[in-house]
């Protein structure tokens, strides 16, 4: 592949020396911004991104251009100068198994800033925030430095590139937790409140930060924007191999020969990612299953290896595209214990706001611990199934608990024998290998 086919990582070198402003500009950096601001009206930028088919890379997969178009813009799409609007970059990557946004933040921070400036222009926001998890210290230092450079160069501040458009971007570093990645919880956290999610509607695009129209976009999503503007909609649409457009950072972790992260076309077959890019399983281990899009997605099996990694294909196979970073279950790791680890995470990270999640997740953890300790009863499996229904979409305030139930319900379906072995008092055939 030449560099044009890897727009997101073209400046990211194998030795991982990060891209400076000079590096970024050398490969066309800030040209997309110039085009947007000098040649296009805000509504036209929205239309470009909608036409490009870009879908949110944070996990939900909602059309980015469509999200932008829902922001109230005033008469005839001309921005009402008196209406405050906000843009927020969601840099709160914390889904277990996801490690893509950190790379973009650390290695090419100007790419995110250019994407944010264009996005802010498209919705006519004059203030933007980067909400970054507190653990990403190196990313915070590099982004803060890039913000200074962008201010000095006139990409931020008043009259950006001699236009009438003004924008300031502030870096907000968080102190946790996972729920802050949910956009309404993120907004509460940004306002200095306990990060409980908010009821929807109203949606954040209408009433978000301090009650003002707010667009929250994932880091990787925003990093796509400069390239769409610079190289055009047709070019972007041509990058995908399946139904979806563009490229994606795909990751794989677990007992693989070469766990890692690769920018590949949307719609790359899962087999290619696991077998070619990750080099297949380590010697002595076989593939038993995988969570294709992070910890909150359903297990798939080796028979699903030829599924394409795009939103609809993974959904059709029974799971979720999520963050596009997969976690591998090998044949020497116990799936029941793996699910317990995941449910412990979600139980701990639940904000406790709504009852099914606050009580249901600890109950799930207790049942799984009992089963593993040999105290389980066969009826417990029905109780666990019942919990997956109790915490299904629509029964909870936000998507945390339904996401938590995805690995569990698929494990109950695919690995039921592993649960039963503990309950029926047979020695667990799968020994921990650590």
Partner 1 sequence: MKEQTEKSSFEGLSPAEIREINAEISEYEDKMAVSTEALKIIQKHRRWVSDECLVAVAELLELSPAHLEGVATFDNLIYRKPVGKTVIHYCNSVTCWMLGSDQVRERLCRHLNVEPGEMSADGEYTVLPIVCLGACDHAPVVMVGDELRLDITEDVVDEILGR
Q: In a 10 Å sphere around its CB, with 0-12 CB exposed, 13-18 middle and 19+ buried, how is residue 79 labelled?
A: buried
Between residues 190 and 205, which has the closer beta carbon with respect to partner 1?
190
Interactions with partner 1, residue window 95-114 (CB under 8 A): 95-99, 101-102
Say whether residue 327 binds partner 1 (CB under 8 A). yes
Q: What is the pattern of x (binds partner 1, CB under 8 A) and - over residues 372-411?
A: ----------------------------------------
Q: Considering only CA atoms, which of 29, 37, 48 is closest in space to residue 166?
A: 37
**CA separation for the pair 89, 119 (Å, rounded):** 10
Among 92-100, 297-305, 357-365, 374-382, which window interacts with partner 1 (CB under 8 A)?
92-100
Max distance between CA atoms of the chain, in angstroms, equals: 74
Sheet with 260-265: strands ordered across: 260-265, 247-253, 325-330, 287-291
- Cβ 381 to partner 1, closest distance in Å? 22
CB of 276 vs partner 1, minimal distance in Å: 16
* Least distance (Å) between residue 203 CB and partner 1: 20
Q: How far is the CB of 333 from partner 1 (least distance, A)?
A: 6
Name the minimum Å distance from CB 295 to partner 1. 6
**Closest CB 51 distance from partner 1, rounded Å:** 32
Q: Phi/psi class of residue 324: alpha, beta or left (left: φ > 0; alpha: ψ in -120 to 50)?
A: left
What angle in degrees, to the nearest 10, is found between the helix axes of 219-231 and 109-123? Answer: 80
Q: Whole-angstrom Cα distance, residue 80 to residue 72?
A: 9
Cα–Cα distances in angstroms (integers) from residue 296 to residues 380, 382, 412, in the given order: 22, 21, 15
Using the minimum distance from each CB to partner 1, give the nearer residue, 340 or 371. 340
3-class DSSP assignment, residue 245: coil
Site for partner 1, residues 333 to 372, rule: CB under 8 A: 333, 338, 341-342, 345, 348-349, 351
Distance between CA atoms of 201 and 67, rounded to whole angstroms? 14
* Residues in the chain, total: 434
**Where are the alpha helices (H) located in 300-378, listed in sequence order?**
311-316, 335-349, 355-372
Does 167 engage in binding with partner 1 (CB under 8 A)? Answer: no
Q: Which is nearer to partner 1, 261 or 390 (CB)?
A: 261
| Contact residue for partner 1 among 138, 243, 378, 424 (CB under 8 A) | 138
Is residue 136 at the binding interface for partner 1, with CB under 8 A as the rule?
Answer: yes
For partner 1, the binding residue among 3, 137, 200, 426 (CB under 8 A) is 137
Q: Which listed residue (49, 73, 295, 412) binds partner 1 by CB under 8 A?
A: 295
Cβ atoms within 10 A of the Cβ of 381, count?
A: 17
CB 425 within 8 A of CB 356: no
Binding mask 242-281 for partner 1 (x = CB under 8 A): ---------xxxxx---xxx--------------------
CB of 77 vs partner 1, minimal distance in Å = 26
- What are the angstrom distances between the C-alpha of 133 and each of 176, 199, 242, 366? 6, 23, 33, 29
Burial tier of 134 (Cβ tally within 10 Å: 0-12, 13-18, 19+)? middle
| Minimum distance, C-beta of residue 330 to partner 1, in the bound complex (Å) | 8
- Map residues 12-51 to x or -, x wherever contact with partner 1 holds by CB under 8 A: ----------------------------------------
Phi, psi of 328 (to 5 degrees): -95, 130
Decide whether 95 or 244 has the Cβ nearer to partner 1. 95
**Restricting to residues 169-188, which ones interact with partner 1 according to CB under 8 A?**
170, 172-178
When asked if residue 10 is in the footprint of partner 1 (CB under 8 A), the reply is no
Distance CA 152, CA 182 (A): 33
> Where do contacts with partner 1 occur on this chain (CB under 8 A)?
93-99, 101-102, 134-138, 170, 172-178, 189-195, 209-210, 251-255, 259-261, 295, 325, 327, 333, 338, 341-342, 345, 348-349, 351, 434
């Amino acid at each position: 592949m030449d560099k044009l086919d890897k727009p997101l990582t073209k400046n990211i070198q194998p030795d991982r020396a990060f891209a400076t402003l000079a590096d970024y500009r050398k490969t066309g950096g800030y040209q997309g911004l110039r085009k947007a601001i000098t040649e296009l009206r805000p509504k036209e930028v929205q239309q470009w991104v909608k036409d490009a088919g870009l879908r949110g890379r944070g996990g939900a997969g909602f059309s980015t251009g469509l999200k932008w178009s829902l922001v109230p813009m005033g008469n005839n799409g001309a921005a009402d100068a008196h209406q405050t609007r906000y843009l927020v970059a969601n840099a709160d990557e914390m889904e277990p198994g996801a490690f893509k946004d950190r790379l973009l933040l650390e290695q090419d921070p100007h790419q995110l800033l250019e994407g944010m400036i264009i996005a802010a222009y498209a919705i006519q926001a004059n203030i933007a925030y980067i909400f970054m998890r507190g653990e990403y210290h190196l990313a915070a230092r590099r982004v803060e430095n890039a913000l200074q450079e962008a201010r000095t160069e006139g990409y931020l501040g008043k009259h950006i590139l001699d236009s009438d458009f003004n924008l300031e971007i502030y870096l907000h570093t968080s102190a946790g937790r996972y729920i802050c990645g949910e956009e309404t919880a993120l907004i509460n956290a940004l306002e200095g409140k306990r990060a409980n999610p908010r009821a929807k509607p109203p949606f954040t695009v209408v009433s978000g930060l301090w009650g003002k129209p707010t667009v929250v976009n994932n880091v990787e999503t925003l990093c796509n924007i400069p390239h769409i503007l610079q190289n055009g909609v047709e070019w972007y649409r041509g990058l995908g191999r399946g139904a979806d457009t563009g490229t994606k950072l795909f990751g794989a972790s677990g007992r693989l020969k070469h766990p890692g992260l690769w920018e590949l076309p949307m719609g790359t077959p899962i087999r290619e990612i696991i077998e070619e890019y990750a080099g297949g399983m380590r010697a002595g281990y076989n593939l038993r299953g995988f969570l294709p899009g992070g910890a909150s997605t359903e297990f798939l099996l080796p028979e699903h290896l030829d599924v394409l990694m795009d939103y609809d294909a993974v959904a059709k196979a029974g799971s979720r595209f999520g963050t596009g970073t997969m976690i591998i279950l090998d044949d020497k790791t116990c799936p029941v214990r793996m699910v317990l680890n995941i449910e412990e995470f979600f139980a701990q990270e639940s904000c406790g706001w709504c009852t099914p999640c606050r009580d249901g997740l600890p109950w799930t953890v207790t049942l799984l611990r009992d089963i593993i300790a040999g105290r389980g009863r066969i009826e417990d499996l029905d109780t666990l199934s019942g919990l997956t229904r109790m915490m299904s979409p629509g029964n909870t305030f936000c998507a945390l608990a339904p996401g938590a139930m995805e690995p569990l319900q698929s494990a109950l379906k695919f690995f039921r024998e592993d649960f039963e072995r503990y309950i029926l008092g047979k020695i667990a055939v799968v020994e921990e290998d650590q």
